Every structure is written in C-alpha cells, then in structure tokens.
C-alpha cells in the first residue's frame, strides 16, 4: 500500500517546482526559442526504490551525450530545469533525479551511501534504455549533495567520463568535523533540511545525535562513516579511470570549506580543473538555477562540451586553477594549487598570553550561509573591533602596517605552543585585515579541538586556516586572534578553563601567510 502524501510537503514541492520552472522560462525568454520538451518519469533505483526524475531530450535524430544531475540536499527534482534546458539546447540528453529519501522519491536519506551510488548507476541504465543517450559519452554534475554523489558515482561506475562537482565535498569529515571540532551550524542546517524535506534513515539519525552529543566513544564510527562517503577515499579508482573532473567551490563555504577540495584536486591525475570564487555554500551557482547568466554554469557547459562533445573550446589549454579574490580584480589562472602562493610571510606571535574560556570575545566566523553570501555581494565579511576585543577572553597579535598591498592566496598556517588547564578544549584562530581605525575584516579562520591532554603540559599546535584569496590594502595590518567560543562550532572547554599561548625560544610561534607574487 502506498504511503499517504504529506499535504504540506506536496504543496511545497509544487511551489518550489513552479518557481524553478518559472526561472527556466525567464532565462530562456530573451532568445524567444522553443524550450526542449520536459518529460517527468519514475525510475526504479536500487532495490526498486522509485526515484522521481525529469528528462530533457534535444531535438534531432541520432545519439547524444548524457548528463545525469542528482539533486541537492533538500531540493526537488525541478532544481536543474533551467540548466537542463540550456544543456539540451547544446545537444545533451539531460536527466535530473531526486535522490532517495527526499521529497517524492522513495527510500530514506543515506548521505551518499551505497544505495545512492547504486541509484546513480540504475539511472544511467534507465537513460541508456529509454533515451537516445550515447553510452560512451556520459557525464554527471550537481550542486552540493549532487556534487558529492557525482564524484562518488564516477569512482564506482566507469561509464562516467566527466564530472562537474559544484560546491561539493571530497572529504566529508574534513568538512563538518575539521580540527576534531563539530561544525554545529552546518550540521544543524543539514539536519533541519533533511527533517523538513526528507526521511532520515535510523543510521543518519544516530550519526546526528552522536555528532551533537560529543560522544568520544562514537568518534571513530563517525569518522569511518564519513570516510565511506568521501570521494577522497576512492582517489585510486578515479586516478585509474581518469574521468575529467571539474571542481568549483566558494572561498567562504561554511558547509564544505575550500581546503578539502584543493587538497583533493592536487592528488587527481586525470584531466582536472579547480575554480574558487567569493561566496558561501552553493551561492556562486544559485542564479544559474533560475536560468540567469552564471560563470559557474557557463564553465560547466564548456567542460562537458570539450570532454563529452569534443568541442575545441580551449578549456583544456587554460590554466587549470582559476581563482577570484574576495576583494575583486577578476580571475587569476595558475598551473596548479601549489603555485597560488609565491611566498609565505611569517608574523611572529611573541610572548606568552593566557585567555579564559567559555565566553565569546566578539571575534567569530559569522553565520552559516549568510556571512559568505554577504561577503560575495557586498564585500563585507564578519568584522570585529580589534582594539576593543577583551584580552581576558581573546589573545591578539598584530603585524606591522604594510607599505604595499598583501595579496593573500592559499592556506595560512598557525604554529604555536599551547598549555591548557584541562584535558579537553577548543580554540578558534582568526586572521583579520585591520584598517586604520582598528576595524578588522575576517580574512580566514579555523577551529581546533583536543582531548586527552595532560593539564598544565604544553604541546605544539599546527593548524591550517581555511584557504582564501583576499587583498589586504596598503596601510593595513594583519591580526591573529584566538578565542574559545564561536557560534559556528561546538566548544569543548570545561567551565573555568584557561589556555596559555607561548613562544619558546627554540620553537617560536608564528602564523605563516601565503602571498601571491606582488
């Protein structure tokens, strides 16, 4: 017996689908051309689970390359209709499907687990049997959840020859549990969207509950669960089959930070491209979902045109690493990720500073999704008055004023010696661009948590801050701030804990700032 439809969910499906379809119409209206026909279908996925899908087929006879687009977390099957119609106009069969567990598709949310990968292969099977798709020219693409599933599917199904993974993940644990710290706002965002738009599996519910509870006895299970769902785990398969992989992300992505994509990109050996732009999670691609001009989707089309349709559009001859600074200035091309930074400048963190835990000093990384979007649109990242930060709860070091602009590119690294008063704890490091009035604009940050340390015993800390591209104006300083509370993260400092940052003579503390060639 079929389950009863949830009327609120059904209404929401209709509303969002109508909005996206309207976006597609708006996007195509200026050209006054007839849109390719959209066919809504049911596809049997793994175990017979019904997957709701739509197919857009180009006009003309003969076979065409196939693009499969799994939906984002919490989005309905109409998500990609605007782009699907544009891609079909270019000669692709485009099949978008609602991943299992969400909206009107069957099953439960498996978070890119084995059933999701089997679904992707079943969808390809269906397309080859029911559309004029060419089995030798298959690509996959998606935003966020769809990006992760596309990469994983390419690692498990050799038929996938090209991928465009937009705002996705390569390392799931390195994204939501970096520095052994729960990214609680990101987790709650995913959890809430899953509860509203889908059906969480019992395994996923337990993962979320253990994630929030900070149960260390379950930590290894969380790591193992995440590794099975991380494309980086299957890097050897991708490098053996060599599908053409395009990775695109935002500098301020508060769900899947840019670091994990950059690290993954460096280890790929097949055709590859890395694009990093201003914005937060999935915001660089957003306008393209409504059919509006969008650089990410334009480059996605060029990527598939070359690797699936054989178009000599030059995408393979361009510098494969394309970056846009958060402060403007257009795109910059580099031959590889390590070439992004020409040099490193160290800022000494001299002296010994003790801070108290459990109070937010006023330095923080912002709000999930919103802060990076604001930075993208207005170039206003999270800010703090550096002179007014209470030194009781925040450690602060500053550079000299720079006579020339400092073009920060890549991954800043903190090296220090830390002495805690408790065996567990957390601190967050922030790098600020400080203007003449002392107002600091956040350049980058990262959290770090430790467990099982001997109270009063110093230990060395090496922490990579989240990768970024940011131009510090002449006359400004850089400031490194450390405190213990940030709304983005769960902190593990017991009440009354203190942290002492020191710089031993034989092992001085510093933050190393990567700079492009001046």
DSSP 488-501: TS---PPTT-EEEE
Do 327 and 470 contact (CB within 8 A), yes or no?
yes
Give the pLDDT of residue 517: 82
Helix axes 202-213, 219-228, angle to 10 degrees: 130
- Comparing CA positions, the residue from 82, 56, 59 lying closest to residue 68 is 56
Give the pLDDT of residue 518: 73
Please tell me the distance from the alpha carbon of residue 294 to that of residue 309, in angstroms, as a whole number: 21
Share of the chain above pLDDT 90, in %: 92
Three-state DSSP state, 87: helix
- Bridging pattern class, strands 425-434 and 477-483: antiparallel
Phi, psi torsion values for 440, nearest 5 degrees:
-100, 130
Task: Read off the pLDDT of residues 84-122 as tens digits, 9 standing for 90 and up.
Answer: 999 999 999 999 999 999 999 999 999 999 999 999 999
Task: Read off the pLDDT of residues 393-425 as tens digits, 9 standing for 90 and up.
Answer: 999 999 999 999 999 999 999 999 999 999 999
Rounded to an integer, the average pLDDT of 436-461 is 98
Task: Read off the pLDDT of residues 217-232 as tens digits, 9 standing for 90 and up.
Answer: 999 999 999 999 999 9
Q: How confident is the model at residue 141 (pLDDT cuts 50, 70, 90)?
A: very high
Give the pLDDT of residue 60: 82
Task: Read off the pLDDT of residues 222-265 as tens digits, 9 standing for 90 and up.
Answer: 999 999 999 999 999 999 999 999 999 999 999 999 999 999 99
**Positive or negative: CA dihedral 182, 183, 186, 192:** positive
Q: How is residue 451 annotated by DSSP?
A: -
- Comparing CA positions, the residue from 363, 488, 373, 371 lying closest to residue 432 is 363
Average pLDDT taken over every residue of the chain: 93
Give the pLDDT of residue 298: 97
Beta bridge partners of 481: 396, 430
If you count them, how many residues does the chain have? 518
Helix axes 202-213, 184-197, angle to 10 degrees: 150
Distance of CA 277 to the CA centre of its chain: 11
Task: Read off the pLDDT of residues 63-77 as tens digits, 9 standing for 90 and up.
Answer: 999 999 999 999 999
């Amino acid at each position: 017996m079929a389950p009863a439809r949830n009327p609120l969910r059904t209404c929401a499906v209709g509303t969002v689908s109508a909005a996206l379809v309207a976006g597609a119409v708006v996007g195509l209206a200026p050209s006054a051309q007839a849109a390719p026909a959209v066919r809504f279908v049911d596809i049997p996925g793994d175990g017979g689970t019904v997957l709701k899908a739509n197919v857009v087929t180009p006009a003309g006879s003969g076979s065409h390359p196939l693009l499969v687009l799994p939906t984002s977390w919490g989005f309905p099957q109409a998500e990609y209709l605007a782009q699907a119609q544009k891609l079909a106009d270019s000669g692709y069969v485009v099949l978008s499907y609602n991943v299992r567990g969400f909206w009107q598709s069957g099953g439960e949310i498996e978070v890119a687990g084995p059933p999701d990968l089997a679904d992707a292969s079943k969808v390809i099977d269906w397309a080859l049997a029911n559309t004029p798709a060419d089995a030798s020219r298959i690509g996959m693409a998606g935003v966020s959840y769809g990006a992760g599933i596309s990469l994983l599917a390419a690692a498990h199904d050799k038929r996938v020859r090209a991928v465009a993974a937009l705002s996705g993940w390569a390392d799931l644990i390195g994204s939501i549990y970096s520095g052994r710290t729960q990214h609680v706002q990101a987790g709650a965002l995913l959890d809430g969207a899953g509860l509203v738009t889908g059906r969480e599996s019992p395994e996923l519910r337990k993962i979320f509950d253990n994630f929030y509870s900070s149960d260390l006895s379950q930590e290894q299970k969380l790591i193992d669960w995440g590794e099975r769902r991380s494309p980086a785990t299957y890097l050897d398969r991708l490098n053996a089959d060599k599908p053409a992989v395009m990775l695109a992300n935002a500098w301020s992505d508060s769900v899947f930070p840019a670091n994990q994509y950059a690290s993954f990109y460096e280890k790929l050996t097949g055709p590859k491209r890395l694009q990093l732009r201003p914005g937060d999670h999935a915001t660089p691609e957003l306008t393209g979902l409504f059919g509006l001009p969008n650089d990410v989707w334009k480059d996605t089309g060029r990527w598939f045109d070359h690797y699936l349709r054989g178009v000599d559009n030059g995408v393979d001859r361009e510098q494969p690493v394309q970056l846009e600074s958060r402060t403007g200035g257009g795109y910059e091309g580099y031959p590889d990720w390590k070439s992004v930074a020409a040099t490193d400048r160290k800022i000494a963190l001299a002296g010994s500073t003790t801070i108290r835990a459990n109070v937010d000093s006023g330095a923080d990384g912002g709000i999930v999704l919103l802060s990076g979007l604001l930075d993208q649109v207005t170039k206003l990242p999270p800010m703090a008055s550096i002179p007014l930060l209470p030194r009781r709860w925040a450690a602060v070091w500053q550079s000299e004023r720079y006579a020339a602009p400092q073009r920060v590119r890549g991954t800043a690294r903190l090296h220090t010696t830390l002495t805690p008063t408790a065996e567990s704890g957390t601190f967050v490091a922030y790098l600020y661009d400080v203007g003449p009035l002392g107002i600091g604009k956040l350049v980058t940050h990262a959290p770090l948590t430790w467990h099982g340390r001997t109270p009063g015993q110093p230990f060395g800390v090496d922490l990579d801050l989240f990768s970024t591209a940011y131009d510090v104006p002449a006359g400004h300083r850089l400031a490194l701030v450390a405190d213990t509370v940030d709304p983005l993260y769960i902190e593990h400092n017991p009440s009354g804990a203190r942290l002492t940052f020191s710089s031993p003579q034989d092992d001085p503390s510093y933050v190393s700032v990567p700079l492009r060639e001046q």
